[in-house]
Structure 1
Amino acid sequence: MHWTGHTILITGGGSGIGAGLAAAMHYAGNQVLIAGRRVQALKAVAHQHPGMAYLPLDQSDPSEVRVFAEEVVRRHPRLNVLVNNAGIVRAEDLCAPDPDVVVEVTSTNLLGPLLLTTHLLPVLRCRPSAAIVNVTSSLAFVPKATLPTYSATKAAMHSYTESLRFQLRHSTVRVVEVPPPRVRLETDALGDEHGIAVSTFVEEVMSSLTAHPEADEIVVPTARRLRFAERRGVYTQQFNAVNPVDPKGRP
C-alpha cells in the first residue's frame, strides 16, 4: 500500500505520536481526520495544517464510539485508513490497587479501539484499498511492572492485531502494527527522559512505510530491543532492565 491519496482517521491526534503522524500523513498527500477527547488540542493541530479535519471522541465510552463511527462515515465517505493510536498511561501500585484506573485504561486502550475497528470494518472492507494501523507499544512484549494495565492492554492489542490480520488476509484491508519504543511526550507519565523524540519516531515510521509498503509491522530501531527480546533469548535480561529493583527489593 502506497501511503498517499487516502482518507485517514487518526485517534489521539491532538498531541504526541498521533499529532506527529497526522502532520506527516497530511503532507504526504492524504486527507487526514484527527480525533480525541481534547477539542482545543485537536483544533490547534488542525489549524497548523490547513485542510486537516477533526472530530471529538472519547473512546472509553462505547456508545460514543458507535455514534462517532457513523458520523465519520457520513462526513468522510471515502475513509479507507484507520490508525488506532489513542491511549492513556497510568502508573499503578498493585499493593494498593485502584479499580478505577483499571477500568479507565482498559476502556480507553483496548475496548475503545476494538469497538471503533468493529464499527468501521464493514466500510473499510468495501474499499478497493484500505488499512488498519494499530499503534501498540514495545511494552506489549516486555512489560513495565509499574504500568501493569497499560502493558496488558498493549499486549492484548498485539494479539488482536495478529488475529485481525489473519482473518482479513483475503480482503483488501492491510493490517499493520506499530509498536513504539519509549517516546518523549510533553507530559510523560513514564517519567522517562531517555526516549526518542516524537519527530524522530514519526520520521522513522513514515520512512519504513514508504520503503516497505507491504510490511505487516513497523519496528523502528530503538523498539527492536524489547520487541524481539523473547525471540533472541534475552527476555529475562530485558525485563530486568525495564524493571530495575533497588537494594531494598522495591521496584
Structure 2
Amino acid sequence: MRTTGNTIFMTGGTSGIGLELARRFRDLGNTVIISGRRQDLLDKIAAEDGIEGIALDVADPDSIAAAFAQVTSKHDVNVLVTMAGIMQPEDLRDPGHLPTAEQTIEINLLGTIRAVATFTPYLLKQSDPVILTVSSGLASVPLSITPTYSATKAAIHSYTQSLRIQLADTGIQVIEVVPPAVRTTLMNQENDERSMPLDEYLDETMTLLQQQPDADEILVDRVRILRDAERENRYDQVIGLLNSVG
C-alpha cells in the first residue's frame, strides 16, 4: 500500500484508533472520509480536523448502500478501511447476554463483510486498490470477559485470509491491521497502563505501513505475544495471564 495520494473511506473513525489513523493518513497527503452514526460528531470533526464525514450505521445494510453511493459520487475511493466496531463485556452464564452478542456480531463481523461486499466490485476498477480490515490480538487469544468481541475478531482474521486469496489475481491488496490493547475509550482503557499508548501505537503502525508496502498484516511488537502464542507453544501461559484476575 502506498501511504500518500490515496482516497480513503473508513467505516467508523470518529474516535480512538480510527480517528487518529484518519488524521495520520490525512497528514501524509491522503484524502480521508470517515463515517459514523452521530452526525453531530462528524460535523465537529469536520470543523476541527478538516476530515469529511458521512453518516453510516454498519448494522444497517441500507445505510451501507447509501453511504457507498454518497462517497463514490464525490470521490474516487481506492482504499476501504473497515474500522467500525464495538466491545462489550458479557456473562455467558446469563442468557441476558444474547442481545449484546448479536449486536457485536452485527457490527463487527457482518458490518465488515457487508462493507467489503459493497465496495469490492467498485475497487476492482480503481488504481492501487486496498482493503484494510481491523482485527485484534484477541483474535488469537480471547479475553474471556468479551467473548463475542474476541470471536468476531477471530472471524475477521479468518475472513481476511480468504479474501486475500480470492482477490490475489485482481490487484486489490488486502491488509489486516492487528492492534493490541490500546489506550482508548474502548472498554474504558484510556488510562490503563497495561495498554499501549495511542500515539505509540499509531507511530509504529504508520512506520510499518511505510516500510512494508506489500505487507499482509500490520503487527506492532506489543501484539506479538498474542498473535504468536500458539505458534510458539505459549498459548496456555498467555491465555492464563490475559484472563487472570487482579
User: TM-score category by the smaller chain?
Assistant: over 0.9
Counterpart residue number, 1:174: 173
Count of aligned pairs between the two proteins: 244
After superposition, the C-alpha distances for 1:60-89 in whole angstroms (9 at most, x for unaligned) are 11221122222221122x100001111000
Residue 152 of structure 1: aligned partner: 151
| Matched residue type, 2:130 | A
Taking structure 1 as the reference length, what is the TM-score of the superposition? 0.93
Aligned match of 2:86: 88
The gaps in structure 1 that reach 5 residues or longer are 247-251
**1:14/1:113 Cα in 2 relative to 1: closer, same or farther (>3 Å)?**
same
Residue equivalent to 1:19: 19
2:225 aligned residue: 225
Whole-angstrom CA distance in 1 between matches of 2:36 and 2:104: 15
Q: Secondary structure at the match of 2:91?
A: coil
Q: Distance in 2 between matches of 1:200 and 1:218?
A: 14
For 2:138, the equivalent position in structure 1 comes to 139
Q: Bigger shift: 195-204 or 61-70?
A: 61-70
Question: Are the counterparts in 2 of residues 204 and 220 from structure 1 also a CA contact under 8 Å?
Answer: yes
Aligned match of 1:205: 205
Q: Map 1:92-111; keep pairs closer than 5 Å.
A: 92-97=90-95, 98-111=97-110
How far the C-alpha of 1:245 sits from its partner, in A, is: 5.0
Moved more, 205-214 or 32-41: 32-41
Return the TM-score normalized by structure 2.
Answer: 0.95
CA deviations on 1:179-231 (whole Å, 9 max, x unpaired) are 10001113534697121122211111111000111111010010110011111
1:2 deviates by 1.5
Contact map agreement 2:182 2:189 (CA 8 A) in 1:
no
Report the equivalent of 1:127.
126
CA distance in 1, matches of 2:134, 2:189: 17
Q: What is the letter of the counterpart of residue 223 of structure 2? A: A
Residues 146 and 192 of structure 1: is their aligned pair in 2 closer, same or farther, counting only changes over 3 Å? farther
Relative to structure 1, the CA distance from residue 75 to residue 179 in structure 2 (aligned partners, 3 Å threshold; closer, same or farther) is same
Distance 2:218 2:163 in 1: 16
Quickly say closer, same or farther: Cα 1:56–1:216, change in 2 above 3 A.
same
Residue identity opposite 2:155 in structure 1: A
Q: Distance in 2 between matches of 1:92 and 1:2?
A: 39
On the 8 A contact 1:90/1:189 being kept in 2, the answer is: no
What stretches of structure 1 move > 6 A for 4+ residues in a row? Answer: none
Q: Which amino acid aligns with 1:20?
A: E
1:122 deviates by 0.6
Q: Residues 88 and 187 of structure 2 are in contact (CA less than 8 Å); yes or no, is this contact kept in structure 1?
A: no
Q: Does 1:69 align with 2:72?
A: no
In structure 1, give the amino acid aligned to 2:8: I
User: Is the contact made by 1:136 and 1:180 (CA closer than 8 Å) also made in structure 2?
Assistant: yes
Give me the whole-angstrom Cα distance separating, in 2, the residues matched to 1:206 and 1:235. 28
Answer whether contact 2:130 2:172 (CA < 8 A) is retained. yes
CA contact (8 A) 2:189 2:195 kept: no
User: Which amino acid in structure 1 is aligned with residue 240 of structure 2?
Assistant: N
Contact preservation (8 Å) 2:6, 2:30: yes
- The one-letter code sitting in structure 2 at the alignment partner of 1:39 is Q
The AA in structure 1 aligned to 2:197 is A
- Cα distance per residue 1:141-178 (max 9 Å; x no partner): 00011101000000000000000000111111100001
Q: Would the aligned equivalents of 1:127 and 1:172 in 2 still touch at CA under 8 Å? A: no
Deviation at 1:39, TM superposition (A): 2.1
**Equivalent residue, structure 2, for 1:48:** 48
Instruction: Summarize the alignment of residues 233-248 of structure 1 with structure 2, pairs less than 5 Å apart.
Output: 233-244=233-244
Q: Which amino acid aligns with 2:65?
A: R
- Give the Å deviation of 1:127: 1.2
Identity, in percent, stands at: 40
Q: Distance in 1 between matches of 2:190 and 2:201?
A: 18
Letter in 2 for 1:147: T
